[in-house]
Amino acid sequence: MSKIEIDKERCKGCALCTVSCPKEQIRIGKEINRQGYFYVVWDDNGSCTGCAICGEICPDVAIKVWKDK
């Protein structure tokens, strides 16, 4: 199982990660960060594979992916 960590203050809500996630676990949240953006949230349902596409596509380097061995 893998884990995604989102830095909500760096996220600008571009949603590139939401469309790139093959398991559709990332979505735009309902809360606003200090910059005034709706940031993304991760719905952990246990199906994350740790592919790290979300972290690679994020232009603001707001996503870290941790993969368990």
Both structure tokens of 22: 């093959």
Distance between first and last Cα of the chain: 8
Residue 8 is given by DSSP the state T
19-50: pLDDT as tens digits:
999 999 999 999 999 999 999 999 988 899 99
Q: The whole model's pTM is what?
A: 0.88
- Under the banding of pLDDT at 50, 70 and 90, the label for residue 67 is confident
For 2-63, which CATH class? alpha beta
For the chain, domain boundaries: 2-63
Query: For residues 10 and 31, what is the distance between their CA atoms, to the nearest angstrom?
Result: 14
Q: Which amino acid would we find at residue 52?
A: A
Q: Based on the number of CB atoms within 10 Å of its own CB, is 19 exposed (0-12), middle (13-18) or buried (19 or more)?
A: exposed
